[in-house]
Amino acid sequence: MTGEVDSLTALRCWGQGRRVAIVHDWLVVQGGAEKVLDALLEAFPQAEIFTLVDFLPAGQRGRIARHKVNTGLIQRLPMARRHYRHYLPWMPYAIEQFDLSEFDLIISSSHCVAKGVVTHPGQRHVCYCHTPMRYAWDMKEAYLNDASFPTPLEWYLRRVLKRLRQWDHFTASQVDHFIANSTNVAGRIRKYYRRDATVIHPPVDLESMSCHDGPRDDYYLAASRLVPYKRLDLIVEAFRADGKRRLKVVGDGPERKRLERLAGGARNIELLGFQPNEMLKHLMANAKGFVFAADEDFGILPLEAQACGTPVIAYGRGGARETVLGLEHGTAATGVFFDEQTCVALGEALERFESKAFDSSACREQADRFSRQRFWSGWLDLMHELDP
């Protein structure tokens, strides 16, 4: 705890007297990007927030409520609350309209367009990149296939995505320094932007989570926003086909009705919808295992599960490879991987998982490597390197 306080205090001292703006794509739900934002706001209490839209419910605002939030023109457009993503073609224009001329340090927390803000000589722009815009780059075809647009609309969207890629690549040259949330994302930044990035992993709020080393309930847990690329459909189908293993799913989003249809009333599957943080932590701490099927940029939920002492069954690509220790680590293992996003591969991974006894303290020790202290220490080191 002392190290955490010292790192935070030192970073606050470094930022004292500096005018700081934090640019965040949008504030709609509490996800991994918003947890990073919370840690940045704790380090820079003087910061103002700039975001395209802010519809975050009062009960989820936390530290954000203490800061001035500036919204963009999309906030005022028709049906923006429910369909803000439909304004994607206009987001580059909207983000460029923010006037940040009075600030010394601009931090963009970007997975879409936030890094495209206009800055000026004498200002420093550091981008914490959660990922390059995935639906314009590596997930373009999956995005179009999932949406199943009519041919004329698909043709139009392909042109839009091409322009977005061009804009995204160009604005990368305006960033002074990139921070990637994982080695996985640093590789994408190098591929698409031709830029190097410092890796600083997102923080896990370990202080609010205790390691449960007692008996566990007989269910598996999956949790995330219910959107297609999280592949909750794969998890639900695998457990429905099994029929015996119990599954609880936490989260809400556009995929919920589809997942309910896929579950088909299976008695071993419960779709719990959105749950408050305390209930989610309780479910994590008592679960037999946490199931994670996404090819995620980083993925903070598997680490939160490990912080509770809960081992993970994860798709073996993307950020999970940096946060979960597989069976090859012996007694230090914190989970198992499956190599294909199929029900068969997930079922086989569950069999391997159940044949292994996992140590809850090893899970917690792995999560400790991703503390808020390390996050702030990484930022402090970088700020001294850039501006000694």
Closest CA to 195 of 175, 166, 218: 175
The yes-or-no verdict on residue 262 having pLDDT over 90 is yes
pLDDT digits (tens, 9 = 90+) for 3-54: 556 899 999 999 999 999 999 999 998 888 999 999 999 999 999 999 999 9
Residue 352 and residue 277: Cα distance in Å, rounded? 30
Q: 197-199 and 220-223 as β-strands: parallel, antiparallel, unpaired?
A: unpaired
Highest mean pLDDT among 44-53, 84-93, 271-280: 44-53
| pLDDT at 277 (0 to 100) | 87
DSSP string spanning 325-349?
--GGGGGG--EEEESSSSHHHHHHH
| Rg of the chain (C-alpha set) | 21
- Measured from the Cβ of residue 122, the count of other Cβ atoms closer than 10 Å reads 7
- Measured from the Cβ of residue 356, the count of other Cβ atoms closer than 10 Å reads 11
Contact yes or no for 16/104 (Cβ under 8 A): no
Burial label, 272 (beta-carbon count in 10 A; 0-12, 13-18, 19+): middle
Closest CA to 114 of 101, 102, 126, 103: 126
pLDDT digits (tens, 9 = 90+) for 168-226: 999 999 999 999 999 999 999 999 999 999 999 999 888 888 898 888 999 999 999 89
Q: How many CA atoms lie within 13 A of 142 on its CB side?
A: 11
Burial label, 185 (beta-carbon count in 10 A; 0-12, 13-18, 19+): buried
Please report which confidence band the pLDDT of residue 1 belongs to, taking 50, 70 and 90 as the band edges.
Answer: very low
Q: CA-CA distances (angstroms) from residue 344 to 165, 238, 278, 341, 349?
A: 36, 8, 33, 9, 9
